[in-house]
Structure 1
Amino acid sequence: MINRNVVGAHYGLKDWIIQRATAVIMAVYAVLIAIVLCAVRPSTFEAWQGVFANGVVQFLTFLFFVSLFCHAWIGVRDIWMDYVKSTGLRLTLHVLTVTVLVGYTAWAATILWRL
């Protein structure tokens, strides 16, 4: 019988698909927001506020940020798993990374919906 030592998190295909899906979401958002900004051409704070006061733009912007943070989590997590050998330090870095990304998500939501 062969005993294999399994290492790593084995997320594989699921994480690869999530990374590609979030990249597509961010790319589509970038194109759409560029079209909106070229059409509206906001030059004052009030004009910028008007663009992001629209519920659809708010939702799409929040979706962009959630996609960005999921994309970042997978990438940074893989860096910690590949290059940080100490389990305790790696766990600490994972917790700090998740805490920061969740905080950024809450901050983005606060900014978007306080307009």
Structure 2
Amino acid sequence: MKSATGLTGSGSRDWFIQRVSAVVLAVYTVVILGWILLHGGFNYEQWSGFMMTLPMKILSLLSILSLAAHAWIGMWQVFTDYVTTRQMGPSASGLRLVLTSAVIIAVFVFVIWGIQIFWAN
């Protein structure tokens, strides 16, 4: 049987993950913007010192994973809603496979790259 959703197999779980990931991304944005506003005229050493603290590494990792989940669920929904045989004919399933594969590869590379940036030191 085909999965009804793209990530968890449940539309309500995907909805919940997307909402939680949006909250994590909003918190991350507020923290980053707050630090920038409080430390105007900062240099690389100050920025690096802030970003490489353990709390920011953890928050950054959570944000990277949240962005990946959020993007995957969103793109899966777009592809299943708009790349259909009803709208595009028989070539839609092949196009959807190519688009989905490209998103999976891009999200995977993004997550690995993000982890490497924050945790390779």
Task: Give the TM-score of the pair, scaled to structure 2.
Answer: 0.78
The structural deviation recorded for 1:39 is 4.0
What amino acid does structure 2 have at the position aligned with 1:94?
T
Identity %, equivalent residues: 34
Deviates more, 1:103-112 or 1:42-51: 42-51
Matched, 1:106 2:112: yes
In structure 2, the partner of 1:80 is 79
Deviates more, 1:105-114 or 1:26-35: 26-35
| CA-atom RMSD in angstroms | 2.1
Whole-Å separation in 2 of the counterparts to 1:82 and 1:39: 43
Whole-Å separation in 1 of the counterparts to 2:120 and 2:63: 18
The structural deviation recorded for 1:37 is 3.5
Matched, 1:93 2:99: yes
Task: Determine if contact 1:42/1:48 at 8 Å carries over to the other structure.
Answer: no
1:15-26 equivalence runs, <5 A: 15-26=14-25
Q: Deviations over 1:9-50 (max 9, x none)?
A: 253211111111111111122223333344444611111111
The structural deviation recorded for 1:8 is 7.3
Q: Deviations over 1:58-100 (max 9, x none)?
A: 1101111110111011111111111112112111211110110
Report the count of equivalent residues: 110
Whole-Å separation in 2 of the counterparts to 1:103 and 1:72: 13
Whole-Å separation in 2 of the counterparts to 1:14 and 1:94: 20
Whole-Å separation in 1 of the counterparts to 2:36 and 2:17: 28
Secondary structure class of the residue paired with 1:9: coil
Task: Give the TM-score of the pair, scaled to structure 1.
Answer: 0.82
Matched, 1:13 2:42: no
In structure 2, the partner of 1:65 is 64
